[in-house]
Each structure stands twice: as structure tokens, then as C-alpha cells.
Amino acid sequence: MLSRFLMVTTLLFCCSEMLLAKAPATIAECLLATTGPSDPSLQQRFSRVILAAAEPQHRPSAVATDRFAGRVIASLRGKQLKADQAERLQAVIIDVLHSAGVATRRYRDVISDFKTLLSTTANIPSDTASSLASDLDLIGREVRGPEDLPLRIE
């Protein structure tokens, strides 16, 4: 009985390790996976990869990340994204995930770069690219925390 339990446990562990090895491990890999066959679990994996890439003390909410991941995956489905394009999009997403303490002007430029990359490299319509950039901005605002309030002198 114990040996059967150990055998089943070992088999389950090996199977889960094989599945994890095949799962995209980076943001770019998740983006590139949208060009392949439809995978219903890709959104969830993409969301987890985004959360894992964030700094532990500045993680965005799972709700915002899930929404962003789902909308990006749906928008890129069927597009012929190349590896260098996916890596540039990944770099921008990581910049947002690590934007706590970054100057607001630089942060705004990163969000604008994301929108431009979606429009130019992935042929995403401008209104969709703007909407996805707004979703990424929401994640960024969660990462960055509240903006400094202007000093009121009376």
C-alpha cells in the first residue's frame, strides 16, 4: 500500500514537473505563445508570470493583472509576433512592474512606448492599444502607490 502511494506520488510529481517545464517562463514567451494553437490556460500563466516579475514589495493586484493578461492575450491572438518584438514588449512591462520610485515623466514615457509598440509591431488598432496601455497604467499605479500630493501653502 505504501509503495503504491509512493509510486503514484512520484508519478504526479514527475508529470507536474514536465508540465511546468513546458509552460512559458517569461513574459516574452507568453506573448509568443499567442501565435500558436489556442491555450485556455495561457491567460492564467501570463498573469502568474507578470506577478512573479514584480518586486515583492510592489506587486499589483491579481485582479488588475488578470484583466491585463486576458486582454493582451486576446488582442495578440493570431498576430505574427516575432521574438524581438515580444522581448521589447516584455521590457516595457517589466519597466512598469519596477516603476516604484521612478520619475513620473519617465513612467509616462514607458506607458506611451507600450502603446506605440502594440500599434506598430503587433498591428493592434490604436483604440485597442490605448485601452491596453490604460490597463498597464492601472497596474503601474498599483505598483507605484499614491502620487505625491502638491504642497499647499496658505
Give the other-Cβ count within 10 Å of 82's Cβ.
13
In a domain, 7, yes or no: no
- Alpha-carbon torsion angle 9, 13, 19, 21, nearest 10: -170
Residue type, 114: F
Cα separation values, 146 from 94, 141, 142, Å: 20, 7, 8
Question: Can you give the pLDDT at residue 104?
Answer: 92
Name the domain count of the chain.
1
Give the other-Cβ count within 10 Å of 20's Cβ.
10
**Tens digit of each residue's pLDDT (9 = 90 or more) over 49-85:** 999 999 999 999 999 999 999 999 999 998 889 999 9
Question: Can you give the pLDDT at residue 152?
Answer: 61
Question: Can you give the pLDDT at residue 20?
Answer: 42
Question: Can you give the pLDDT at residue 86?
Answer: 95
Q: Is the pLDDT of residue 154 over 90?
A: no
For the question of whether the overall pTM of this predicted structure is more than 0.85, the answer is no
In a domain, 81, yes or no: yes
Question: Can you give the pLDDT at residue 105?
Answer: 94
**Tens digit of each residue's pLDDT (9 = 90 or more) over 20-49:** 444 458 999 999 999 877 888 999 999 999
Q: Which domain holds residue 129?
A: 23-144
In a domain, 55, yes or no: yes
In a domain, 5, yes or no: no
In a domain, 13, yes or no: no
In a domain, 101, yes or no: yes
In a domain, 69, yes or no: yes
